[in-house]
Structure 1
C-alpha cells in the first residue's frame, strides 16, 4: 500500500518542499502548493494560473473574471511556470508516478466572481466557460509536463472542497442573505468529465487507464491518472466515479455509514481510494495526533468493515486528510512520515 500527500505545504522554498516530498512520499511524490508565498500560490491561485483563454484579477473581495489578465493572474502564471522549472531540475533522476493538484471547476466557480459581481456559480454561461477554460488549461499543462518530463507518469488531482456545498445549494451569495441554487447533477458531472477527458486525451497511453474494473491489466505503476480530493462531508462518490475519475481521496473523519457503502461498491468496481487517515483539522496541527499504528488501524478497520478482499483493499492509498500548510515544516514532515509508516503496517497486515 502506498502513501502520499495532498496539496499544500508550509514554507516558501519549493526546492526544499520538493526534496522533503520525494523523501517522505517515495512511491507517489507530488508538487506541493506553498500558500505562504502569497495568494497567487494557493489552491485558487494555481487554478487561476491554469485557465486558458479567460482572464482574472485579484479584487478586495477575491478573484474576479476580467477582460484582460491582471497583475495577480500574471504573477500566478509566472509562479506556476517557475514551480515547473524547479520541478524539472528536481526530478531528473526520478522515473515513475508524480501527482499535481489543481483546483476543480466547481470550487473555482464558487470562489471566483463574474465581472458584474457575485460568483461565477450564479450564471450557467459563466460556470460553463470557466469549466471549459480550466479543462483546456489543464490539458495544456499535461502536454507541457509530458514534453518537459516524459519519464514521469503524471497524475492530476482535482481539489474540490466546495463540491458538496455546491451540490447542496449552500454556497452563499455576495450579500450573504441567500444561497445560490443547486446545480443539476448532469451539469455537475459534465464539467468534471470535461476535465477528465482533457487529461486523458493529452498524453499517449492515458486512455488505457484501468478504471473500468478490477480485472483490467495495470498501466505503468497501476495508479489511476485522475483523482478528485475533497475533505468536506457529503461527497458524491458515485457521481465522481461516473464522471470518469480513477480515484477519490477523502477525509476519514467526514465519512458516515452510507459513504462507506458507496466507497466499498466503487472500489469493488475499480475505483481507487485515498484514505485521509491523519487529521489536519483545527487543533491538530502538531502532526503528532495520530501514531502510524493508529492511522493503520483506522484504515484496516475500514477494510474489514467493508469486507474488502486484499486485492481490492490494495487500491487504497493513505494520505493526510487535507493539505499541511497550517503545520510548521517539522510537523508536516512528521505527518508525511506517519502516513508512510502506516502504509507499511497495513501492507504487512494485509499480507498476513
Structure 2
C-alpha cells in the first residue's frame, strides 16, 4: 500500500473554526497542524461564510441569494454572492500569509453536489434535489467552480499538495429519501445510487484535473456513511464521526482500508464536554484500535490509513477549546504510530 500525501500518523481539522478573525484562524491552524493544515471557515461572520453560502459563491453561471427560508437560485450575482466571495478571498489571503514556503499537504473544503442540491432552493422554494435536470446543472457548475478554486489555492501556495474535502452531511438523507420538501409534510424521493455516484465522480474528477491528481476526501458527520459508494466515486479518503459507527459498517470499512482508502476518524469532541475529554490522546483513538482488532486488520496499517480529526467542525467551540482540540488530534495521531496495540 502506497503512502498518502499527508504521510503517517497525520492529523487535521474538518473545516470551521470559531470567531471572525481570518488571520488568527489561519495562524492557529497552520501553527498546530504543521504537517496537514487546512483552509479555515468562519461561519460566525454571517451569511456567505456559512457552509452553503460559501460554496454557492464558487458556483459558475449559477448564482444564489439569501432568502428567509435559506439560499435560493438567483438570476445574477448579487450582494450575497459578492459577500461570499469576499469572505473567501480574505481567508485565502490569510492562508497565503501563513503558508509561505510550505510544501506539504493542504486541505480545502467545498460542499458536495448532493448536500448543495438538498439545501439550495429553486425559484419556487423547493430544493434543487426535486428536479433531476437542476441537479445535473448544479453538479456541472460545482465541478467547474471547484476546479477554479483549487487552481487559485495552488497559485497562492505553489508548494502544497492540495487535498479537496467535499462536505456531504445530507448524503445519507438523499439516498434514503429523508430530505423534507418546503412544506415539511413530505420528503423528496430517494435518488438512485448510480445517479448520486455519477455526480460525485464528476466533481472528484474536476478536482483531480485542477490539482494534477490530488486526493479527494468526502466528509459526512451523519450516521450511515455510504463507504462503498464513495470509494466507487473516486474518494481517496472518507471522513466521519467515529462515535456514529456501528458494526453494520464493519465490512465496508474493512474493504476500504484494504483497498487503500484513508479513514479520517472524527475521534475528538468538537465542543467542550462535561468530562473534559482532552486528557488522554491514546484513549481518544481507542475506538479506532477496537475497530482494527474487530476487523482483523494489521496494526501496521493504523498510522498509514487513519487521519485523526475532530468529530465535526469547531465553529461551536470556544477559541481556546478549538486550539486544544487540534493539538489533541496531533497527539492522538502520534499515539497510533507509537503504540499501535
The question of a shared fold, defined as TM-score above 0.5 by the shorter chain, is answered with yes
Q: Distance in 2 between matches of 1:229 and 1:286?
A: 26
Contact 1:58 1:70 in 2 (8 A): no
Preserved CA contact (<8 Å) 1:65 1:114: yes
Q: 8 Å contact 2:40–2:91 — kept in the other structure? A: no
Matches within 5 A, 1:16-27: 16-27=24-35
Q: Distance in 2 between matches of 1:178 and 1:39?
A: 28
* 1:200 corresponds to 2:208: yes
CA distance in 1, matches of 2:156, 2:292: 39
Gap runs ≥5 in structure 1: 210-224
Q: Given that residues 103 and 160 in structure 1 are in contact (C-alpha distance below 8 angstroms), is that contact kept between their aligned partners in structure 2?
A: yes
**Runs of at least 5 residues in structure 2 that lack an aligned partner in the other structure:** 1-8
How far off is 1:106 after superposition?
0.6
Aligned to 1:58: 66
Contact 2:267 2:308 in 1 (8 A): yes
Q: Does 1:306 align with 2:295?
A: yes
TM-score, normalization by structure 2? 0.93
CA contact (8 A) 1:58 1:73 kept: no
Q: Give yes or no for contact 1:285–1:326 (8 Å, CA) kept in 2.
A: no
Which residue of structure 1 lines up, in the alignment, with residue 3 of structure 2?
A: none
- CA deviations 1:219-263 (Å, max 9, x no partner) are xxxxxx100000000111000000001000110111111212211
Kindly indicate whether the alpha-carbon contact (under 8 Å) linking 2:64 and 2:81 is maintained by their aligned counterparts in 1.
yes
The answer on 1:252 being equivalent to 2:260 is no
Distance (whole Å) between structure 2 residues aligned to residue 166 and residue 288 of structure 1: 35
Question: What's the offset of the Cα at 1:79?
Answer: 1.3
| 2:220 counterpart (225, 230, 239) | 230
Distance change in 2, residues 1:126/1:286 (3 Å): farther
- Paired with 1:45 and 1:18, the residues of 2 have a C-alpha distance of 20
Pick aligned residue for 2:262 from 251, 254, 272: 272
Please show how residues 161-176 of structure 1 align to structure 2 within 5 Å: 161-176=169-184
d(CA) in 2 for partners of 1:173, 1:285: 34
Superposition RMSD in Å: 1.5
Aligned to 1:217: none
182 and 251 in structure 1: CA distance in 2 versus 1, 3 angstrom threshold: same
The SS at the match of 1:36 is helix
Corresponding position of 2:50: 42
Maintained 8 Å contact 1:102/1:156: yes
Q: CA deviation at 1:141?
A: 1.0
Cross-structure match for 2:5:
none
Contact 2:101/2:159 (CA < 8 Å) preserved in 1?
Answer: no
Per the normalisation by structure 1, the TM-score is: 0.91
User: What is the Cα deviation at residue 28 of structure 1?
Assistant: 0.6
State the partner residue of 1:219: none
Aligned twin of 1:114: 122
2:309 is paired with a residue of what secondary structure?
strand
Indicate the residue corresponding to 1:214 in structure 2.
Answer: none
What whole-Å deviation, never above 9, does each CA across 1:281-331 have from its counterpart, x for those lacking one? 7xx457932431321322222222222223432211011110010100001
Q: Distance in 2 between matches of 1:52 and 1:91?
A: 28
